[in-house]
A and B are shown apart, each in its own frame.
Chain A
Amino acid sequence: MSLFLTQLMNGIGNGAVYASLALALVLIFRSTGILNFAQGEMALYSTYLVWFFTARNFPVWIAILIAMAISFVGGALIERVVIRPVERASPLVLVIVTIGMFLALNSITQVQFGADAKQLPRAYPGKTWLPGNVQISADTLVLVGVLVAECVLLYLLLQRTRLGLAVRSVASNPESSQLLGIPVGTMLMLGWALAAALGALAGALAIPASQPALSGASMQSILVFSFAAAALGGFDSTLGAVVGGLIVGVAESLTTQYIHPLHDIVLVVPFGLILLVLLVRPSGLFGTRRVERV
């Protein structure tokens, strides 16, 4: 039982990472209808930025904040320079553009920072507690805490501010929004900027917690799990991203613990989930099937 609970906690910790990155995917999908396959590599570049600043003796949290700020600006630039020229193109074109960005960012990262693996320090002491024989690591607590903070801040931004109202309005009806004086392009840039900053935070916390070192492949499996999370929750639902992320994380850790044949091919879990969701409920658990009368 304690082993089960330990794995459950681990799963929730990993799930919090998937949820963060899935939130970033949802932010972009809701406003632009784009599945951003480059989200993981955007986070990879950001995480290398964190390494870059920690290697120059910046405190880790400061390095993360700087990387988030740079990513925020970088995300906005990507929208303006790469996405805007093709925003009216067919979905297939957009998929190819984001996959191209995936490859480009991955290569740029390795050219700029070197292809060797990097040691990325934790932003907090890596402790473990054992209440009632259940292992709870500081990683799990921090990752879940950060996820909760992200959700609260996003909720306040989107539901309680004038800017957030404009973002939601653009996501629902860009044409009407611009007729009411909302600069649609600026709102889309804001969505990409927020997503990039979220990804930076997720990468910087997830990699020291889950991987031996930071390398060019670090974000790839995380992105697959996050896609599964977003598909499960519904690509246009922030709540779905969080719930989906936690479910996928727990499914992953329990599968590796209890289904030994899958131990080394755990990517079967997210792909299986994506397939299942697409077959049974394509809009996901919390995705909207639109209510609209005409």
Chain B
Amino acid sequence: MTLLGVTGLRAGYGAVRVLTGLDFSVDEGEVVVILGANGAGKTTTLRAVCGMIDAEGEVVFEGRDLVGRRTDQIAQAGIGHVPQGRGTIVDLTVDDNLRVGAYRRRDHDITADIEHWYEVFPRLGERRSQQAGSMSGGEQQMLAIARAMMARPKLVLLDEPSLGLAPLITQELFRRLGDLNRERGVSMLIVEQNAGLALGIARRGYVLETGRIAVSGSAEDLANNDDVRRAYLGI
């Protein structure tokens, strides 16, 4: 079943058009990856879906059109977003970062949930009362994912999660993302330059070139596609 269906998405910054009409979708429980070079419009796509920039076209999430809604309303509808650069709320403690993640929740399981994420990411638990801005890049990326998950979203958008991380930490990160998808059934739309790792956990993928979808297919097909291999896998 389609969770997020995007048709004819156009967006940009001021007079600069970045996206010239994108069609893509994410099914329930699916991990979808968007590959593309710098400047292809990957980040813009995620920002347009989240209402952080003005967009035209259709962005339908669980049957409701999101275009024109405020970012906080879109978040409340069930879309988490781990922004590029991790979006750490630097002046708050690790614990408060996670609590903010649950801002829209009204249930009583919030504290138990935080403890759960400390078990998943023990480094965060060790640093729970530390200012979040003082942690390492890898730790902040784990925090960003846990913070987004605290809202119990149905779909998480991840913007270049591997950016600035050491290769080993990136591998660990994608292993975690794969686990989250399998164990919790949370759908993911990942924008990534590290195509190998991203395709490893994805079911389907798209290749974005200058504001358009150039190639789409199953993760396996993309990994075997000669153009994709040359451009994004460095083989």
A residues bordering B, Cβ < 8 Å? 162, 165-166, 168-169, 171-173, 175-184, 288, 290-294
Contacts and interface: CB of A to CB of B under 8 A. Distances in A.
Nearest to B130: A291
A175 B110 CA distance: 22
Contacts of A294: 85, 137, 164
A177 B89 contact: yes
Contact of A293 (B70, B91, B103, B133): B133
B61 to A, nearest CB: 14
B100 A175 contact: no
B75 A181 contact: yes
Given A168-B96, A293-B135, A176 B87 contact: yes
Contact of A179 (B87, B90, B137): B87
B104 interface: yes
A165 B131 contact: no
A168 B92 contact: yes
A180 B88 contact: no
Contacts of A180: 72, 75, 100-101, 103-104, 147-148, 151
A173 B90 contact: yes
A173 B87 contact: yes
Contact of B88 (A173, A183, A184): A173
Interface string B50-76: 101000000000000000001111011
Given A179-B75, A291-B131, A171 B137 contact: no
B73 to A, nearest CB: 8
A173 B89 contact: yes
A166 B104 CA distance: 10
B85 to A, nearest CB: 8
B75 A171 contact: no
A172 B70 CA distance: 20
Nearest to B76: A181
A168 B134 contact: no
Contacts of B133: 290-293
A290 B87 CA distance: 15
Contacts of B71: 178-179
A23 to B, nearest CB: 18
B90 A172 contact: yes
B204 interface: no
- A176, A178, A291, most chain B CB atoms within 10 A: A176
Contacts of B50: 179
A258 to B, nearest CB: 41
Interface residues of B, number: 35
Interface of B: 50, 52, 70-73, 75-76, 80-81, 83, 85, 87-92, 96, 99-101, 103-104, 131, 133-137, 140, 147-148, 151, 164
B100 A177 contact: yes
B74 to A, nearest CB: 9
22 contacts: A162-B103, A165-B99, A166-B100, A168-B92, A168-B96, A169-B100, A172-B90, A175-B83, A177-B89, A177-B100, A178-B71, A178-B72, A179-B87, A180-B101, A180-B104, A181-B73, A181-B75, A181-B104, A183-B72, A184-B72, A292-B133, A294-B137
A38 to B, nearest CB: 26
B136 A172 contact: no
A152 to B, nearest CB: 20
Contacts of B103: 162, 165-166, 169, 180-182
A113 to B, nearest CB: 39
Contacts of B80: 179
B134 A291 contact: yes
Contacts of A176: 83, 87-89, 147
A290 B90 contact: yes
Nearest to A162: B103
A22 to B, nearest CB: 20
Contacts of B136: 293
A168 B91 CA distance: 8
A162 B134 CA distance: 23
A175 B134 contact: no
A159 to B, nearest CB: 10
Given A178-B71, A179-B50, A182-B72, 20 more contacts: A166-B103, A168-B92, A172-B89, A172-B92, A173-B89, A175-B52, A176-B87, A177-B89, A179-B52, A179-B71, A179-B80, A179-B87, A180-B75, A180-B148, A181-B72, A181-B75, A182-B100, A183-B70, A292-B133, A294-B164
